[in-house]
Chain A
Amino acid sequence: MTNIKRRNFLKAVGVGGAATVAGFGCAANGSSTASRGAHVIVIGGGSGGATAAKYLKRFSPDLQVTLIEPSATYYTCYGSNWVLGGHATMDEIAQTYDALASRHGVTVVQDSVTEVDPAKRAVMTAGGSTMNYDYLIMSPGIDFRYDAVPGITAADAERIPHAWKAGDQTRILRSQLEAMPDGGVFVMVAPGNPFRCPPGPYERASMVAHYFQQAKPRSKIIILDNKENFSKQGLFMAGWEQHYGDMIEWLPSSRGGQVEEIDAANLTTISDSGLTTVKADVLNYIPPQQAGKIAMQTGLTGDGFWCPVNQQTFESTIHPGIYVIGDSSVAGAMPKSGHSANNQGKIAAAAIVNALAGKDPLSPSTANTCYSLITPDHAISVAAVYALKDDGTLGGVEGAGGVSPADAPASVRQMEAIYTKGWYTGITADIWG
């Protein structure tokens, strides 16, 4: 409480921090920051970064926290499948940074980071600013590896959307589904592990099936999967059979699902050395993924595709002083989900605050929950609690977590559907509220 009182007092006497850091002229939502306290820059205003920025201020109001994010409106990837299914709008999955700036005292800069210099502890932006940090948190999400499969490039994404980052891509895929004639085939190519949102492709198939059932019931859905099994598989497949009959066909990698090439001009996938080809009316190619571009460029992935971190704090094992959270990080058993990113943002924020106080880092214990809709009234979930194991990785606590029961009555599925929407409202309030 002492901190808050002091902050208010500083505001009252007019100590505004608008000019304390060079290059703040571009601040979209510049707010008064105390001129004392370490400066923490957060790159990326998604689930991880926005949480980290908010909780840094919550844990230690004297910190200067700058969040750099290129978009004024952020569309959550979770919930975007509901838009594809036609029972949520883009507005309902839109988040903004107003509350972070006005309620929590985060300086929000609408810009994109072009370079990080770990030695000088400096961040350069496309807008021409150079900002120095004491600590840096990076939450850059994912980037796509379009070089993994021949025949398709990033330039094809307008016509063959991934829709794995929400926004215009979601709108494109939704309009293609709307334009598709009844009896058409929607083909989704699902990536191998690890990737953002493990149950996401299967919730997407469910939501598209829900839409087809109502609007174009003779249509088909084919999932070409670059793996042998998937998240909540038993629950999804039982739900598909119950609600959609044989509308959804899932092909694992061993049965033609491993896509080797794409004939982008003809919306056709090629697998089994050419023995299997699938022609789509609407093709949704979700490429293999890697850490966000700025993390790769800063060398935070080492020789791999993702960023190794100390899983107690999420500090990079490659560049000390830089913390990597969310999809870009290697986080033990935690999946690449918005819920994981949100909790990792809190762990990194606490680790930085405690480091500044000269304290040892806490041993984190945290959680993930992923709800998926099979219909708007039938949801399933997977949950886990994670703790730091002796080997330094975050592992699932034995005896806890797991998936929804296989034999649950419709009332439980419906209750979980209500909680799915409640989860969305809760997590987005926790991150951006």
Chain B
Amino acid sequence: MKRSRVLGPGIALALAAMALAPQASAEVERGELLSASCFTCHSIDATGNMPGLVGYPRDLMVSQMQAFADGSRPATIMDRHSKGYSAADIELIADYIATLQQ
């Protein structure tokens, strides 16, 4: 890797700004990783014909996943998916998805 570049004033300013900003909170939490597997079908760009999930209300997510799992909400495939997650996992997913913004 070749990083040797002349530091201009702009870069120095940028580096100073970076020193002030907290280091990247680059850690993936379980809720985010679990939710990522939903995005395969339920694109976060809201393309496709599966219902979009961006900003989906937390409690509604929990209740709908439970309804798919217990059969009270009819489904073609979500009944088979919803049964694969614990109540705790569903809450993690619901918490994370509720934070998504377009």
Which among A6, A62, A430 is the interface contact of B43 at CB below 8 angstroms?
A430
Does A36 touch B at the CB level, under 8 Å?
yes
Q: Give a binary string over B15-26; 1 marks a CB under 8 Å from any A CB, 0 the rest.
A: 001100110111
Q: Which residues 304-319 of A have a CB within 8 angstroms of B?
A: none
Please indicate the chain A residues that have their CB under 8 angstroms from the CB of B22 in the complex.
Answer: 2
B residues within 8 A CB of A406?
none
A284 at the interface (CB under 8 A from B): no
Bound Cα distance from A240 to B77, whole angstroms: 22
The reply to whether B50 and A423 contact each other, CB–CB distance below 8 Å, is yes
Least Cβ distance of A194 to chain B in Å? 21
Check: B81 CB closer than 8 A to any chain A CB. Answer: yes
B residues 1-43 in Cβ contact with A at 8 Å: 1-3, 5, 8, 10-11, 13-14, 17-18, 21-22, 24-30, 32-34, 36-37, 39-43
- Given contacts A6-B21, A15-B14, A343-B40, A354 and B27 within 8 Å (CB-CB): yes
In the complex, chain B residues whose CB is within 8 Å of the CB of A401: 80-81, 83-84
Category for how many chain B residues contact A: 35 or more
- Scoring B residues 42 to 72 as 1 if CB is less than 8 Å from chain A, else 0, what string do you get? 1111011110000000000000000000000
Is A155 an interface residue when CB atoms closer than 8 A count as contact?
A: no
Question: Does B84 contact A427, Cβ atoms closer than 8 Å?
Answer: no
Most chain A Cβ neighbours within 10 Å, of B18, B28, B42: B28
A167 on the B face (CB < 8 A): no
Task: Please state if A6 and B41 are interface contacts (CB–CB under 8 Å).
Answer: no
* Chain A: minimal CB distance from B74 (Å): 10
A429 touches B47 (CB 8 A): yes
Which B residues are in CB contact (< 8 Å) with A429? 43, 45, 47-48
B76 in contact (CB, < 8 A): yes
Q: Tell me if B89 counts as interface (CB < 8 A to partner A).
A: yes
Contacts of A365 in B (CB 8 A): 34, 37, 84-85, 89
Q: Assuming A2-B24, A39-B1, is B48 touching A381 (CB within 8 A)?
A: no
Tell me which residues across on chain B come within 8 A of A366, comparing CB atoms: 37
Contact call B49/A367, Cβ cutoff below 8 A: no
Give the docked Cα–Cα distance between A366 and B34 (Å). 7
A-B contact count (CB 8 A): 165
Q: Which residue of A22, A60, A343, A402 contacts B80 across the interface (Cβ within 8 Å)?
A: A402
Interface members, chain A 289-306 (any B CB < 8 Å) = none
> Are the C-beta atoms of B81 and A383 separated by less than 8 Å?
yes
Determine if A238 is an interface residue (Cβ-Cβ < 8 Å). Answer: no
Q: Of B24, B33, B49, which one neighbours A362 at CB under 8 angstroms?
A: B33
Complex partner residue of A400 from B33, B45, B49, B80, CB under 8 angstroms: B80
Contact A59 B50 (CB under 8 A): no
A347 within 8 A of partner (CB): yes
* In the complex with contacts A418-B49, A425-B49, A400-B28 CB distance below 8 A: no
Shortest Cβ distance from residue A162 to the other chain B in the assembled complex, whole angstroms: 26
Q: When the two chains form the complex, which single residue of B18, B32, B37, B49 contacts A421, counting CB atoms closer than 8 Å?
A: B49
Partner of B47, one of A15, A399, A425: A425
The reply to whether the CB of A394 lies closer than 8 angstroms to some CB of chain B is no
Chain A 188-224, CB-CB to B under 8 Å as 1, else 0, gives 0000000000000000000000000000000000000
Partner of B1 from the list A20, A353, A399, A418 (CB cut-off 8 Å) is: A20
Q: Pick from B10, B39, B49, B77: contact of A383, CB below 8 A.
A: B77
Interface residues of A (CB under 8 A from B): 2-3, 6, 9-10, 13-15, 19-22, 35-36, 39, 55, 59-63, 132, 339, 342-343, 346-347, 349-350, 353-354, 356-357, 359, 362-367, 369, 381, 383-387, 397, 399-402, 404, 412, 415-416, 418-419, 421-427, 429-430, 433
Given contacts A354-B27, A401-B80, 8 further A-B contacts (CB under 8 A): A343-B37, A353-B26, A353-B27, A362-B29, A385-B81, A387-B84, A419-B76, A433-B47
Interface residues of B (CB under 8 A from A): 1-3, 5, 8, 10-11, 13-14, 17-18, 21-22, 24-30, 32-34, 36-37, 39-45, 47-50, 76-77, 80-85, 89
12 A-B residue pairs with Cβ-Cβ distance under 8 Å, sorted by A, are A6-B18, A9-B14, A63-B26, A132-B1, A343-B40, A354-B28, A385-B81, A385-B84, A404-B77, A424-B48, A426-B40, A429-B47
7 closest Cβ pairs, A-B complex: A385-B84, A400-B84, A426-B48, A60-B26, A425-B48, A422-B49, A13-B10
